[in-house]
Chain A
């Protein structure tokens, strides 16, 4: 007889196998779900938390729309910008053609050399901005300079290039591999019109957070086309809410030929764009936690049942010399065997589901560390769930054995 009594425990378990098998099956499903849920949640959290390069917390967006025949777009945006930039607490304000992180934008393909018809160019999310853009976005220039007021071009309805542009470092790396040394070089648009790169932004995210090239962004010095204007306004920290109210009050009455559509924090657009990812993470975490909790209760229930049906046997064992420790060990080992059976089956299920998910989401295959972590976690949970019933079993008095016989 070994110290751990593996054989007799196993045979006792086998005599009552249905309940044990049900619990093992629960454990298998729980492990498979746990491992994959953690993996998917990690991907989502990483995506939501990656650096976007902008001062999102201190930026708000103002959208207006001119709608009458008398509406003078240029006079209107000049007046609005002058007003916004003059407000105490406003760091900078820029007209923008599209709102970063909002899901709505425009993109074009660019090349380092004039292209042949077969070449498609490296896609970049382009934004028309004015001379305060770098400040208003709160992005950091890695090299070069921002736009100057005299470089800002008048609006056009269609895509046109500009003599100077600013691009992000990720776009630079894609267009000028391998080092991405772009400052002062020429970049070509789809119609092979050239432009000089005067600045390189360290990091900036464009419109579509689900796009794998979201960090390939180009700023073009041009006033966005009317009659709708969108302003990006950056404030000193802590002053956003009050300034938004002031701006809303002023702009909603300052010009009756246009409508103030809304004033919203940029953070709202970011939240909207990541809403599905965030909600998926919340769903997965809550459903998985509930699943683990139910499984733990199942383990607890089985152990409790096993103890309560064997009161007499335990009493007898105690009476013939088993220590409390032996009783605790008996139940923990029994439970560990059930958990392990579940874990072995669960590993197979986890890998199968992981494979399916990696195909569906075009993700790398499930990392085995997750599996190791999941297995250890389930073992620990199993032991904890069986601990209390095992302790109770050990407290059964040896006298029970003599009482009913």
Chain B
């Protein structure tokens, strides 16, 4: 019986090619636009380290201006970075299983023999726990120990891309390379790793390219390396030397901790609060007590990674899908009622309401099925076009390239959407046509 329904469906579709194309086109377009915006939305706002969401926390302390919040659009939040003195004080606590402070820097990598052209390297000055905390994959070697942070020892982790450039992609662990004018020993080669958005440092946008080099944070005070990210201040204070900078209220460091359970979390919160209370006595931290441990999910929201534009676009995409579906329902209804006479004859010849309903549902299914497949294909093409919109020149690297990447979740969501679209578009017209009283049409014949 089902085979016969399919036969009928295809015959009916061919009878009205213009109308059929219009319906299929509407379903396809609606699904394509939804696939595109959802993929975009996920790339821009998804949590790239969701599996550690309940243990990773960004640490923020409110030592800001007593007269003004750090961000007047979000006055309830402390500044999103820490000053050197506060970061160091909090690092002293042995409580978190893993903890890190870090900042962005820029250097130039070069080999002594100049056999390879020197290259500018985006650098992360960080304590060694970063690799374990963020599940950073290694191609060769690994990170460095706590003693390398304290020393500090001249060790370096470089990216797979830099390793290819300077060492032809071979295992370079143990080789030496210069970062600006200082020599470092390579202890690890980081494999491909591009969390999007770059949740751990959102200062320079959420789609920044990945780091080329990681160096122990201990070198920052030693070499007097200024942050290449963002430095913010509120207090009028004289900053003439790097020592002044380290002692100042300027915030420029990111801090993350890994707290395995609620108990450690509470104890760590108590620790930073008591640190703030102590500082209050010394005349600092004059704002109300507001020290936060923020999970990655919330961190992305607090830092406005999910912009208003993205939300508007997702809303718009669903409005668009709704219009496409309404359109299809209307056209299906028209088409079915147009053929009501034939249906009347079928009913008179003994087809049950259920059978008529099923027959029309199959017809709807065929239309929506073709529309959905076309829609997924269109969506894919649109994503390629999207990449062009976000790329300024072909040599760009970084997050913009990853936007157009269709992931499993997006495809599953799209398929679910298509299924929903089929049912939503088909049920009412098929039911309505099943209710046709056969007598009227027989009379008219």
Contact B236 A295 (CB under 8 A): no
Taking CB atoms and an 8 Å cut-off, the chain B residues in 47-71 that contact chain A are: 67-68
B330 & A275 in contact (Cβ 8 Å cutoff): no
Q: Which of B19, B68, B178, B311 contacts A301 (CB 8 A)?
A: B19
Whether the Cβ atoms of B323 and A26 lie closer than 8 Å is yes
Stretch of B130-138, B213-221, B240-248, B343-351 lying at the A interface:
B240-248
| Residues 23-79 (chain A) with a chain B CB within 8 angstroms | 23, 25-26, 29-30, 32-33, 37, 40, 65, 67-69, 71
Residue A282, interface by CB 8 Å: yes
Whole-angstrom distance between the Cβ of A197 and the nearest chain B Cβ = 21
Kindly identify which residue among A30, A191, A280 contacts B236, using a CB–CB cutoff of 8 Å. A191
A-B pair number, CB within 8 angstroms: 135
Contact B106 A65 (CB under 8 A): yes
B181 touches A301 (CB 8 A): no
B327→A275 contact, CB < 8 A: no
Chain A residue numbers with a CB within 8 Å of B327 are 22, 26, 294-295, 297-298, 301
Interface size in chain A (residues, C-beta < 8 A): 60
Question: B330 and A22: CB pair below 8 A?
Answer: yes
The one of A120, A156, A276, A287 that contacts B316, using a Cβ cutoff of 8 Å:
A287
Residue of A with least CB distance to B120: A261
Task: Judge whether A158 is part of the interface by a CB distance below 8 angstroms.
Answer: yes
Within residues 175 to 216 of chain A, which ones have a CB less than 8 A from any CB in chain B? 190-191
Task: Please state if B120 and A272 are interface contacts (CB–CB under 8 Å).
Answer: no
Q: Known: A118-B67, A360-B308. Is A294-B324 also a contact (CB below 8 A)?
A: yes
Q: Is the CB of B331 within 8 A of A290?
A: no
Task: Determine which of A22, A40, A157, A301 lies in contact with B312 in the assembled complex, contact meaning CB atoms within 8 Å.
Answer: A40
A290-B33, A298-B326, A301-B22 known; A157 and B226 CB under 8 Å? yes
A353 nearest in chain B by CB position: B315
Decide yes or no whether A361 CB sits under 8 A from chain B: yes
Q: Does chain B have a CB within 8 A of A4?
A: no
A279 within 8 A of B: yes
- Which residues does chain A contribute within 8 Å of B392, judged by CB atoms? 268, 271-272, 275
Known: A26-B323, A67-B118, A284-B316. Is A294-B334 also a contact (CB below 8 A)?
Answer: no
CA gap between A30 and B327 in the complex, in Å: 12
Interface residues of chain A, those whose CB is within 8 Å of chain B, are: 18-19, 22-23, 25-26, 29-30, 32-33, 37, 40, 65, 67-69, 71, 103-104, 117-118, 120, 156-160, 190-191, 227-228, 256, 259, 261, 268, 271-272, 275-276, 279-280, 282-284, 287, 290-291, 294-295, 297-298, 301-302, 304-305, 308-309, 357, 360-361
12 A-B pairs with CB atoms under 8 Å apart are A26-B326, A29-B323, A67-B118, A67-B180, A280-B309, A290-B33, A298-B323, A305-B331, A305-B334, A305-B338, A357-B312, A360-B308
